[in-house]
Amino acid sequence: MSGGEASVLVVEDEPQMLRFLRTTLVSQGFQVLEAMTGKDAIEAVAFRNPEVILLDLMLPDMDGLDVIRTVREWSHTPIVVISARGREDDKILALDLGADDYLTKPFGTGELFARIRVSLRHAVKAASDEQAVFVAGDLTVDMAKRQVTVGGEGIHLTKREYRLLITLIKHADRVVTHRQLLQEVWGPGYETELPYLRVYVGQLRRKLEPDPARPRLLLTEPGVGYRLKAE
Amino acid sequence: MKTRLSGAADKPLWVQLALGLVVVAACTLACLPLSTLFPLAELVMVYILGVMLASLQFSRMASAVTAVMCAAAFDFFFVLPRLSFVPTDLKHLVTVAGLLTLGLVISTLTARLLHQITVVAVEQERTRALLALSRELARTESIADLAAEAAEHVGRFFSAAAAVFLAEDAQPLHVLAAAGVSRGRAAEAQPQLDAVNQDVSWRELATRAFATRQDEDIAVVGAPGSAAVPLTGSRGNLGALVVRSDTAWTISAEQASQLKAFAAQTGLAIERAQLEVEAEQARVAVETERLRGALLSSVSHDLRTPLGAITGATSALLDDEQLLRSEPGRDLLTTVYEEAVRLNRLVGSLLYMTRLEAGAVAANKEWQPLEEVIGAALTRRASELAGHEVTVKMDYALPLMEIDSVLIEQALGNILDNAARHTPTGTVIEVEAWPLGRGVEIRVADRGPGLEPGEESLVFDKFYRGAAGRMGGAGLGLAVVRGIIEVHGGRVWAERREGGGSVFHVFLPIEANPPDLALSAAREDDLVEGE
């Protein structure tokens, strides 16, 4: 793919990691801005207007979570967090603070470009109108008619299953935390009712996936949330 | 405290004397109609019978008095002249004197016999109690159980409350077990301990007993109704045994020696258990040291091998610009990538292992469908499993499980990864999950070379590598699996599979009742038009 001169702010204090990200992003046609501290990152967002932010949570001067908190006070620029496995709590916090997605170290370039691409697309889409028909593989959802079909066949969904699906579609290809889903589908006060969500995702999978035990559409991000795979 | 054969001997003396009077009266009444038919010598027999009965029942004093009273009554009522103590005939005087002597001798002999029987019975009971305690102690292993057993036995023997105090390296003198302290909840240990802890006098008694030297011969007697002795061991006092009664009981010399016998036995048993604990700790220390050595050599080897490959391949690529674009160059790059992935896996396993062993992994358990966790494990290991055909069979009506999804996903992933790496490409890996008792069993079956006999449990040991070769593993993956499953109170085991290959079983228990939410949530949720 080509970055098409989109500017990416890379916030990373480890030189090797920074070099890897710079090299691969530049080779794909992105314009790369760099920051090695949280303070520099916030300044760069304010004055250089990047289109996507890649943010490592481990920074020398401040907590990456605080960078998200500060940036989100005045900017909607997509933030993709870079974090290590086993730090699920950090990821959830980052996402609930307003980060758009995360990458787990170590990651390959395929994953990196996919996350950036999705973030850019969502940023554009947020500005334009909501799409009326969503298609991913065999699944087609017509939001205007509230129709769900898999391979051309109509599928019965309960109201709540439908709302869950629509919420995931709205964030297509991005991770949505359990908390966000519970809040958007069940409403405030249900944030801790995780088993509800899991049972409904299971039901939805059985209706939409050919092999619910090996989902290709409604992916689980263990300990964090769910991701609807559209690409 | 108990054990007398006779019934009335415990009653006050005046009651016994009154009863003695009744015996005399009964003998006299019995003799009245007989006195006309039989000579005096025969009537004497009735009184002798009365004295015998009395001496069996009464204390020595009371039975002697009864014997005197019998002689007096015989003299008064039957020896001529009647209703007078002074006999006219010398022959009758001899009869009365004979009755008196016989009565006194009988009462004395009976009392002595009874006393001996009592002594033997008490002795027997003490021996039995000691034997019972030593049998229980021999059967018990942990120090806490030993103490509980001793408190229970001693309390029961003295019909009182008893507590065992122990002083250990880590803790000064503290109560370890108690029995009979708080009434009505004898089965629960904690209220007993709490009751002892709340009452300072228990500790005071124990402290005083603990401070006595071993050769000091007497049980410490505290306030009335209590007694304490040190628990002696070969290396000094281990603690103290305290007995307390609600009554104003004072310990007798026999009871004191019994208490000491109990204490000696308990002390011996506790010391034995302490020595075993120490030996076990020493063994663990040696084992830990050995493992640390194995860890270091294994880790340094397993870290260096992929690093060596990466360094070699990349330096070759850097040295020769043409190589990068050639087929061998791509092979080198593939090697670098694969070795990096392997390093990442190893570091991950090491981290998990360290955290599991340090007890730092607290399972963040939540109710969830197992299929989701199995699905996540399959998805995340998709690239590792790409060369195999994976089939999944499970009961979609499986109950919700209270598990940590991240940990279980890791455990299942490691089993799948293990299966993928140890079986030939193209073979089938079968994943199944079914309810089993109060839990769910997950099975991962492969058609690889299978386990060697005896290898079934070894594979879960740290740094164990199959006889078939290293296959790039550090012998940590399955150890992590076992650690994770044990954190969930479950079990993991492996078997050789009929027809070749191996089967890995994971059993996860359901300990609490799952929330009943599917139904209640569905009711408020109507169907939406789908056509």
Tell me whether residues A199 and B375 touch, CB distance under 8 A: no
**pTM for the predicted model, two decimal places:** 0.59
Q: How confident is the model at residue B529 (pLDDT cuts 50, 70, 90)?
A: very low
Is A169 found in the same domain as A95? no
Least confident of B132-136, B169-173, B259-263: B169-173
Is A115 found in the same domain as A49? yes
What local confidence, expressed as pLDDT, does residue B219 receive? Answer: 59
For chain A, how many structural domains are there in total? 2
Handedness of CA A181, A186, A189, A192 (dihedral sign): negative
What local confidence, expressed as pLDDT, does residue A177 receive? Answer: 93
Both tokens of B469, joined, read 């070769």
Q: Report the alpha-carbon distance of residue B484 to residue B362 in Å, rounded.
A: 10
Helix B327-357 and helix B253-319: axis angle, to 10°? 170
Least confident of A21-30, B1-10, B211-220: B1-10
Q: Is residue A224 part of a domain?
A: yes
The type of residue at B205 is: L
User: Is B338's Cβ below 8 Å from some Cβ in A?
Assistant: no
Beta bridge partners of A83: A104
Question: Smallest Cβ distance to A147: which of B344, B367, B530?
Answer: B530
User: Is A152's Cβ below 8 Å from some Cβ in B?
Assistant: no
The type of residue at B504 is: F
Q: Residue B124 above 80 pLDDT?
A: yes
Q: Residue A116 above 90 pLDDT?
A: yes
Is A47 found in the same domain as A13? yes
Both tokens of B509, joined, read 């228990």
Q: Report the alpha-carbon distance of residue A67 to residue A94 in Å, rounded.
A: 10
Is A114 found in the same domain as A154? no
What local confidence, expressed as pLDDT, does residue B82 receive? Answer: 78
% chain B with pLDDT above 90:
9
> What structural domains does chain B harbor?
13-126 (no CATH), 141-269 (3.30.450.40), 286-357 (1.10.287.130), 366-509 (3.30.565.10)
What local confidence, expressed as pLDDT, does residue A56 receive? Answer: 92
Q: Is residue A66 part of a domain?
A: yes
What local confidence, expressed as pLDDT, does residue A10 receive? Answer: 95
CATH code of the domain covering residue A38: 3.40.50.2300
Torsion of CA A183, A184, A188, A194, to 10 degrees: -30
Q: Residue A70 above 50 pLDDT?
A: yes
What local confidence, expressed as pLDDT, does residue A94 receive? Answer: 93
Last residue of a domain, one of A106, A127, A148: A127
What local confidence, expressed as pLDDT, does residue B256 receive? Answer: 81
3-state SS class at A167? helix
Is A140 found in the same domain as A44? no
B-facing residues of A in 27-46 (CB < 8 A) are none
Q: Report the alpha-carbon distance of residue B433 to residue A201 in Å, rounded.
A: 19
CATH code of the domain covering residue A174: 1.10.10.10
ipTM given for this complex: 0.80
Q: 3-state SS string over A24-55?
A: HHHHCCCEEEEECCHHHHHHHHHHHCCCEEEE
Is A107 found in the same domain as A14? yes
Q: Is residue A1 part of a domain?
A: no
What local confidence, expressed as pLDDT, does residue B3 receive? Answer: 39
Q: Is residue A67 part of a domain?
A: yes
Q: Report the alpha-carbon distance of residue A222 to residue B406 in Å, rounded.
A: 5
User: Is B398's Cβ below 8 Å from some Cβ in A?
Assistant: no
Last residue of a domain, one of A127, A148, A163: A127
Q: How confident is the model at residue B443 (pLDDT cuts 50, 70, 90)?
A: very high
B-facing residues of A in 106-125 (CB < 8 A) are 106
Tell me whether residues A213 and B371 touch, CB distance under 8 A: yes
Q: Report the alpha-carbon distance of residue A35 to residue A62 in Å, rounded.
A: 13
Q: What is the pLDDT of residues B4-33, one digit of tens each?
A: 444 566 778 888 888 888 988 988 888 888
Q: Is residue A2 part of a domain?
A: no
Q: Is residue A57 part of a domain?
A: yes
Both tokens of A86, joined, read 């086993």
The whole-number average pLDDT for the span B218-231 is 74
* Long-range CB pairs of B523-526, under 8 A, 24+ apart, other chains included: B525/A158, B525/A159, B525/A160, B525/A161, B526/A158, B526/A159
**Angle value at C-alpha B45, between B39 and B51, nearest 5 degrees:** 145
Measured in whole angstroms, the distance separating CA A75 from the mean position of its chain's CA atoms is 17
Q: Residue A148 above 80 pLDDT?
A: yes
A153-154 and A101-105 as β-strands: parallel, antiparallel, unpaired? unpaired
Is A112 found in the same domain as A158? no
Is A108 found in the same domain as A27? yes
Q: Which chain B residues have a beta carbon less than 8 Å from that of A178?
A: none
What local confidence, expressed as pLDDT, does residue B5 receive? Answer: 44
Is A89 found in the same domain as A32? yes
What local confidence, expressed as pLDDT, does residue B530 receive? Answer: 40
Enclosing domain of residue A165: 133-228
Both tokens of A112, joined, read 């990196």
Is A19 found in the same domain as A107? yes
Is A143 found in the same domain as A83? no
Is A215 found in the same domain as A141? yes
